[in-house]
Chains A and B, each alone.
Chain A
Amino acid sequence: MLRALTEADLRFRYGRGPGRFLRWILEPFALVGVYLLLITFVLDRPGRAPGLSLAAAIVPFQLVIATVANAMQAVDIRRPILLNMRFERKLIPLSSMFTESTAFSASFLLIVVMMAAYRIAPTSALAWLPLIVVVNLYLAASGAYAASLLGLWLHELKLFLLSFVRMLFFLGPGLVPLAATSSRSRDILRFNPLSGMFEAYRSVFLDGHAPAPWELLYPFVIATAILLVFVPMYGSEQREFAKVV
């Protein structure tokens, strides 16, 4: 059922036909690719491989924000089905996450291009990547459950909520690595669950070493806390979805 919901969602997202694959490949480049190329080849930015460092933050962030944006309207776009039949509605936020993870997989090409541009070879640290991706998906899924409900409850504040998530990119080590910030700000920035994600991607792609335990554990704990709060709420509220769509 989850697969069927996700496939339908993907057709909404990418359409159908041969152009679908092209759009899937090009979308991440259209979103941030030009900016990364500017950082890499035109602007003189301090630090080691600034384009790759930035890409390592943008890729996990894109998954989270795209999932949140999708989940906010996930219930609304399924209005005809919700009004017509009973099905497991708890799967709706998960299908948002899986839909956006397809776009996410294409955005890894950005990292490959950046590694090639800076001539940084992959290392054995890449073995950590599956675990990092799982934590990233878990964090995105937790955001999806929260966003599905908040999108329904605070319909008129959807854009503000999305801006809040976007703000988390800048209130974390998105533009520069954590090591490039002052020690005081470093302690504060670590409270942002995205900080660990950004740093974990940088660890394996840029620095070639395993991520520090906090980089995965902290986002995992925060995602679990969000799920513990929002999944039971979602379970109770989903009974009312057909009344409000």
Chain B
Amino acid sequence: MISVHRAGVRFYFDRHMKVVTRGASRLRSHGTTKWGVRGVSFESLGGEGIALIGPSGSGKTTMLRLLARVYWPDEGQVAVRGRVASLLSIDAGLLSLLTGRENAMLLGVLGGLSRRASRRALESVKDHSRLGDAFEQPVSTYSQGMRARLGFAVAEETEPQILLLDEVHEALDHEFRAVVAEHARRLVEAGGVVVVSGHDHQMLERLCTRALHLDKGAVRNDGPFKPVQQAYLAAVQAASEASPTW
């Protein structure tokens, strides 16, 4: 279902350290480049939840965007087979000036549903997101949790085989976290893959049996969740003891 072989994503910067496209980097002199992730390899045949753990800036979000095909690999290969649903940004992919209903319609179509299917799914999205009357209000009036709920409800409608979550679930209230966990469990049981990143390890453990420890854009450890998590926490502890305290 997911096969990542020595994949790398490179970012181009201009001399003011602003990220630019590769084409723009050719127009501007004195630019630099940096790899977000490099040499990353792992596979999943399905039926598992994979947690991406690591410090901020370790490449978790870049890895998820690579799997969502939001980023293209600059080297190596990434093969993802199956319908993908993703919640990769704090605004959950929603356009703030549009209402919940309008966003649900747009994201449904962009997510692969026909217009008719997307329109038919609107009431179900409204119910599942539990937004009530707020569904008809512009998303700019929503809290982060409401946005994540709407984004998740739309993602559910596309019946994904691969679900990618980047810290967004951490904005959810406990009740909706349980809904996400239940959905992820059902997806994994049906042979799908859930890939989740975040710093809430309790939540990650509920969703995942496997973990990838990312550090400086590379995979440091890959295996069952608990041992990888403990090795990561031990590394963090060792690093904080080695560095001077405040």
Asked if chains A and B come from one complex, the reply is yes
A83 x B88 contact (CB < 8 A): yes
Q: How distant is the Cα of A87 from the Cα of B89 in the complex, in angstroms?
A: 16
A153 x B21 contact (CB < 8 A): yes
A contact residues around B118 at 8 Å (CB): 4
Q: How distant is the Cα of A90 from the Cα of B12 in the complex, in angstroms?
A: 22
Majority SS at the chain A contact face:
helix
A contact residues around B99 at 8 Å (CB): 16
Chain A binder among B44-52, B63-71, B195-203, B222-230 = B63-71
Choose one: B91, B93, B102; the contact of A11 (CB below 8 Å): B102
Shortest CB-to-CB span from A196 to chain B, Å, is 30
Majority SS at the chain B contact face:
mixed
Indicate if B86 sits at the interface (CB-CB under 8 A). yes
B23 x A233 contact (CB < 8 A): yes
Q: How distant is the Cα of A210 from the Cα of B68 in the complex, in angstroms?
A: 52
A80 x B91 contact (CB < 8 A): yes
Which of A83, A149, A154, A241 neighbours the largest number of chain B CB atoms within 10 Å of its CB? Answer: A83
Given contact pairs A86-B70, A153-B21, A11 touches B65 in the complex (Cβ within 8 A): no
B102 x A242 contact (CB < 8 A): no
B68 x A244 contact (CB < 8 A): no
Q: How distant is the Cα of A83 from the Cα of B99 in the complex, in angstroms?
A: 19
A80 x B89 contact (CB < 8 A): yes
Chain A residue total in the interface (Cβ 8 A): 32
Choose one: A1, A8, A83, A149; the contact of B70 (CB below 8 Å): A83
A contact residues around B176 at 8 Å (CB): none
A87 x B23 contact (CB < 8 A): no
Which residues of A (198-245) have their CB < 8 Å from a CB of B? Answer: 233, 236-237, 239-244
Indicate if A78 sits at the interface (CB-CB under 8 A). yes
Q: How distant is the Cα of A61 from the Cα of B24 in the complex, in angstroms?
A: 29
A contact residues around B91 at 8 Å (CB): 80
Quick one: closest A residue to B61, CB to CB?
A83
Quick one: closest B residue to A234, CB to CB?
B23
Which residues of B (92-134) have their CB < 8 Å from a CB of A? Answer: 92-99, 102, 105-107, 109-111, 115, 118
A contact residues around B220 at 8 Å (CB): none
Given contact pairs A3-B115, A4-B115, A80 touches B93 in the complex (Cβ within 8 A): yes
A87 x B110 contact (CB < 8 A): yes
Indicate if B35 sits at the interface (CB-CB under 8 A). no
A81 x B71 contact (CB < 8 A): no
Indicate if B206 sits at the interface (CB-CB under 8 A). no
B contact residues around A239 at 8 Å (CB): 71-72
Query: For this complex, into which size category does the number of interface residues on chain B fall?
Result: 35 or more
Indicate if B239 sits at the interface (CB-CB under 8 A). no
Q: How distant is the Cα of A242 from the Cα of B99 in the complex, in angstroms?
A: 23
B21 x A80 contact (CB < 8 A): no
Q: How distant is the Cα of A66 from the Cα of B102 in the complex, in angstroms?
A: 24
Which residues of A (43-83) have their CB < 8 Å from a CB of B? Answer: 77-78, 80-83
Given contact pairs A84-B68, A87-B110, A8 touches B93 in the complex (Cβ within 8 A): no
Total contacts A to B, CB within 8 angstroms?
101
Q: How distant is the Cα of A81 from the Cα of B88 in the complex, in angstroms?
A: 10
Given contact pairs A4-B109, A8-B102, A242-B71, A81 touches B93 in the complex (Cβ within 8 A): yes
Choose one: A12, A85, A149, A240; the contact of B22 (CB below 8 Å): A240
A1 x B89 contact (CB < 8 A): no
B contact residues around A86 at 8 Å (CB): 68-70, 84
Q: How distant is the Cα of A42 from the Cα of B4 in the complex, in angstroms?
A: 71
Indicate if B87 sits at the interface (CB-CB under 8 A). yes
Quick one: closest B residue to A78, CB to CB?
B95
Indicate if B180 sits at the interface (CB-CB under 8 A). no
Quick one: closest A residue to B70, CB to CB?
A242
A153 x B107 contact (CB < 8 A): no
Choose one: A77, A81, A244; the contact of B107 (CB below 8 Å): A81
B19 x A80 contact (CB < 8 A): no
Indicate if B11 sits at the interface (CB-CB under 8 A). yes
What are 29 of the A-B contact pairs (CB < 8 Å)? A4-B115, A4-B118, A5-B106, A5-B110, A7-B105, A8-B102, A11-B98, A11-B102, A12-B97, A80-B95, A81-B93, A81-B106, A81-B107, A84-B92, A84-B151, A85-B88, A85-B107, A85-B110, A86-B70, A152-B24, A153-B23, A154-B27, A236-B22, A237-B23, A239-B72, A240-B12, A242-B71, A243-B11, A244-B20
* Chain B interfacial positions (CB closer than 8 Å to A): 11-12, 19-24, 27, 65, 68-72, 84, 86-89, 91-99, 102, 105-107, 109-111, 115, 118, 151
List 6 A-B pairs, minimum CB-CB distance, nearest first. A84-B93, A240-B21, A4-B109, A86-B69, A239-B72, A153-B24
